[in-house]
A and B are shown apart, each in its own frame.
Chain A
């Protein structure tokens, strides 16, 4: 059973703070993704990674960066959090061979 774990489920941060969202998968998947979910906007891709130390911009990368130092771990970084980054963030992973994406439980971030 694929497990994608997001370490923080609920966070409240102040404007200007640096925020780290961590994601770990246990299926040796090559691909990892960070999505943002907002009502009426669906799931929007922020960044993805096809391999260790590789990263690609998604549809809405502005204000975010990522780090993939180990295959199982993909971190999303908000260098200076802003109120418009209040959202639910979903990490996901998939194997190189298949399309099926497996999601984590999500991290609810509120920036005040």
Chain B
């Protein structure tokens, strides 16, 4: 099956700086790569996703890049704000609708 690795496990940045979280996957058939944000005590919520026919996608301060050849994808958050502090999960899926998640990154934005 699919194996998704996520790094780093914790990340601290100063408010206003950028944050980058990286994931790798093993199954070349995977074609859907979402990112979820989980605030303390809350449910994970989808913040952005990318499909394998696209190399980059942007939504305001967040962007995701995908390198299919290298089997890795990254989440970029620019101009970080304290409310960006949360645990972020990457995931990968093939057509079976079954997501395989990374182990999560705890992002802390220091005011």
A: which residues have CB within 8 A of B?
A: 4, 31, 33, 35, 40-45, 48, 50, 59, 90, 94, 96, 98-106
Contacts and interface: CB of A to CB of B under 8 A. Distances in A.
B14 interface: no
Interface of B: 1, 6, 9, 32, 34, 36, 42-46, 49, 89, 93, 97-104
Given A103-B45, A104-B43, 17 more contacts: A4-B43, A31-B97, A35-B101, A40-B103, A40-B104, A42-B101, A42-B103, A43-B89, A43-B104, A45-B98, A45-B100, A50-B97, A59-B1, A99-B99, A100-B34, A103-B36, A103-B43
A-B pairs, 9 with minimum CB distance:
A42-B103, A43-B101, A103-B43, A99-B32, A42-B101, A103-B44, A42-B104, A105-B43, A99-B93
Contacts of B45: 103
A96 B36 CA distance: 20
B101 A96 contact: no
A90 B98 contact: no
A96 B45 CA distance: 19
Contacts of B36: 103
A103 B89 CA distance: 13
Contacts of B9: 40
Nearest to A35: B101
A65 B63 CA distance: 38
A90 B43 contact: yes
